Structure 1
């Protein structure tokens, strides 16, 4: 693979600019899209006109994208919100045109985007799906430093917990399973994926005594998909799915809601977790953390998750050819 990964700037008042510099030397060739004024003082960078233009060794390749204002660490500026959004769209355009291998996105602050640019999407994932033509996608969180690996997909994402039972329809769960199954083959090189599906209720409903969503929605769906040859286990009690012997029995877990999926992976591999959007016509990864305004500009930002995201994007692009 000779094309670079595109690293979007994310929220410039967060830790993103530091991470863009601190990830240099990780073994992945990437170019950063953003305003050079937002990089740490003294950062070694070279502006480039195209994603794969050469730069001196040790320099960050920068596709310059001017923002309205400079950035103050820890203090998001609403005037810069549109620039954050436009950088994401620019990266999608470049990778869609074949000028880059993949996209790794640095964290955004959704509140700042809503206040400064009336951003109408719940998060990065939904905006990327919109830019790709409103394609159906799912969010996967994948570990990089635990074995067996922990890969989780929440079927419902950024909605209140009280809305989950109604939102978790058979159609939505089927979509998550099919997208995950296809992506495990295409993007992770697993020819016969084994998927585990968590129940919504404690003890996966315990035969209907703790809820009927499993027996009425999940079990019939899984039986039908097994008939098509998809290797599925479940519905399983979520509290016994994530210790090492359990993880060894599947390649990815489909969970009912956000925290059911994210608590185990953030407990097992907080620094090495990577956010991967499955179902897009291009590869997108992201570090599994936020903007960290409290430490922005201090030089204490840990690049481990960004490096893991860049390496996963590189590996996935290699598998895709």
Structure 2
């Protein structure tokens, strides 16, 4: 497995190019030599000027063309959406070929992506399609709280439909496997309930009893150290306090709200169960500050650090 990581610079009109250049400039010479940036050189050079660093980007950039580059900062653009897709597509193909060991993605703009005719709900769906994978799970990792999601970018009504026994069990398995890979010998997993108080014995819904509890029982029968369903209003605090290594969240906001509350600038988005490795920042394109040289690249540094641990086969957490 290659120990080189590939960073996709994200939407050319957002903060992705700036945080990518900042992160590259701060790397050791050895780490820089094990890094490729999939993006557009002219845009990255404009970002370099915006952030005020001095580094020759040419040796590290897989330069892909953008008509009219560099584009105006902070503008919604189908050209930018198409470019963001092409950066990711190239990185995926190189990862599949073994040329890079992990992809680190800077933020894309979903509206720009769809304007360009690439109809995905975000990175995870796109990566699943590009790799032909039947499933992929979003795991958000921080120092004291880690969350994996049964569903993500769907309506709450659709999320409830997707919380089937089969899908919850698959999510538990995926989380257990990933944590074992990054060094947890026997991960302690909690599964959040979907209804208030896990339905209160049917008073507030039956999904927890009929769909989620059987998945937990099946996972326990396989030897996974998992408990649940546990009421979502307490389980994240218990995990944050050290009681669990991972929480299975039933839908997007259930998992994202607690992790963004406690680790807004440091949480890393990890795609689990894809045939390639991918980490990402956990923030958006921030069009309002793009090109001003003020974007915080701490989250990018965290995503890169997690990627380096994955390619090295080392422990995280």
| TM-based fold match above 0.5 | yes
Using the size of structure 1 for normalisation, the TM-score is 0.90
**2:39 and 2:185 mapped to 1: Cα distance?**
38
Q: Please tell me whether the aligned partners of residues 7 and 38 of structure 2 are also in contact (alpha carbons under 8 angstroms).
A: yes
**1:141 and 1:209 mapped to 2: Cα distance?**
31
Q: Please tell me whether the aligned partners of residues 11 and 83 of structure 2 are also in contact (alpha carbons under 8 angstroms).
A: no
Residue of structure 2 in register with 1:309 after alignment:
303
**1:46 and 1:224 mapped to 2: Cα distance?**
51
2:304 is aligned with 1:293: no
Deviation at 1:2, TM superposition (A): 7.1
Using the size of structure 2 for normalisation, the TM-score is 0.91
Q: Please tell me whether the aligned partners of residues 239 and 247 of structure 2 are also in contact (alpha carbons under 8 angstroms).
A: no
Deviation at 1:101, TM superposition (A): 2.0
User: What are structure 2's unaligned runs of at least 5 residues?
Assistant: none
Q: Please tell me whether the aligned partners of residues 3 and 311 of structure 2 are also in contact (alpha carbons under 8 angstroms).
A: no
2:266 is aligned with 1:272: yes
2:82 is aligned with 1:82: yes
What secondary structure is seen at the aligned counterpart in 2 of 1:301? coil
Higher helix share: 2
Name which of structure 1's ranges 277-286 and 75-84 shifts more when overlaid on structure 2: 75-84
Residues 10-21 of structure 1 correspond to what in structure 2 (within 5 A)? 10-21=10-21
Deviation at 1:46, TM superposition (A): 3.4
Deviation at 1:314, TM superposition (A): 0.3
**2:57 and 2:220 mapped to 1: Cα distance?**
53
Deviation at 1:82, TM superposition (A): 2.0
Residue of structure 2 in register with 1:153 after alignment:
148
Deviation at 1:81, TM superposition (A): 2.4
Residue of structure 1 in register with 2:8 after alignment:
8
**1:165 and 1:136 mapped to 2: Cα distance?**
18
The number of residues matched between the two structures is 303
CA-based RMSD: 1.8
**2:261 and 2:212 mapped to 1: Cα distance?**
27
**2:2 and 2:132 mapped to 1: Cα distance?**
27
Q: Please tell me whether the aligned partners of residues 36 and 64 of structure 1 are also in contact (alpha carbons under 8 angstroms).
A: yes
Residue of structure 1 in register with 2:133 after alignment:
134
2:275 is aligned with 1:281: yes
Residue of structure 2 in register with 1:44 after alignment:
55
Structure 1 ranges of 4+ moved more than 3 A: 26-29, 244-247
Q: Please tell me whether the aligned partners of residues 12 and 76 of structure 1 are also in contact (alpha carbons under 8 angstroms).
A: no
User: What are structure 1's unaligned runs of at least 5 residues?
Assistant: 49-60
Residue of structure 2 in register with 1:257 after alignment:
251
Q: Deviations over 1:36-67 (max 9, x none)?
A: 1112254523324xxxxxxxxxxxx1111111
